[in-house]
Structure 1
């Protein structure tokens, strides 16, 4: 996977979240209808544009892996590359094998551009199984279009 070079619009900065970002992060995550129970501002990176927090994403740590999660761009700021910039930054920051779960093929295609590939629930590391179990049951029993993905750095093979 060739790394794509993304840049931020003028007036925007990427930074680690601070305790002051806790409420804006929660608001962004809730506005995107994402699961809000495992939000720890200490794990987040945020993009601030002209003084407003407009995007966030976190790397959750597990014993043998990390999860890219809670990636949200405020509706008014979508389509400007913020999600791509933040995704690439989180990939570059990860220190363990990286996984995620997303809803639907549109998001799976988005993450596929960065080197994520769809995997089965059974192929997830043991440390992630309890976290993803509910999604797996919703997929199996209710047909919810959850996609489990793993980041595979293919640049070593180029």
Structure 2
């Protein structure tokens, strides 16, 4: 899937987040029940449609790797291609090996369309093991359906 074949709906733009949007980003991430840690507005890209912030996502930097995280599209703008557009943009922007964690098979299938493949916790880089450790514990103890994935070019 390549970026040039994707486009945003009329009235929508992709841009870097601004400091004024940090609370809107936090609200989106919390409302989607995503990991609320390490939300640095400086790492976020947002999609604005008709002057409303309707999607966001970030690339988090770790030692030797990056994580695609906090990708959210508001309920009213789902199924308009915004998540696909933003995911592909973040993949194209990444400068180091790229990983993510997601909940459930449906999201794992979504990310697999872009070239992400499941990896075991043991195969994660050391710098991500500490971040994903709580998810791995929840997966083992209470069977939370966490999937760790790596981008394969």
TM-score (norm 1): 0.94
Distance (Å, rounded) in 2 between the aligned partners of 1:88 and 1:78: 16
Equivalent residue for 1:50?
Answer: 50
Equivalent residue for 1:111?
Answer: 111
Q: Which runs of 4+ in 1 moved over 2 A?
A: 2-5
Distance (Å, rounded) in 1 between the aligned partners of 2:134 and 2:41: 23
- Residue 23 of structure 2 aligns to a residue whose secondary structure is helix
In structure 1, stretches of 5+ residues that fail to align are 154-158
Offset from partner CA, 1:99-156 (integer Å, 9 cap, x none): 0000000000000000000000011111111000000010011111000000000xxx
Equivalent residue for 1:71?
Answer: 71
In structure 2, stretches of 5+ residues that fail to align are none
Q: CA deviation at 1:35?
A: 1.7
| Equivalent pairs, count | 152
RMSD: 0.9
Distance (Å, rounded) in 2 between the aligned partners of 1:142 and 1:6: 39
Q: CA deviation at 1:6?
A: 1.6
Equivalent residue for 2:144?
Answer: 144
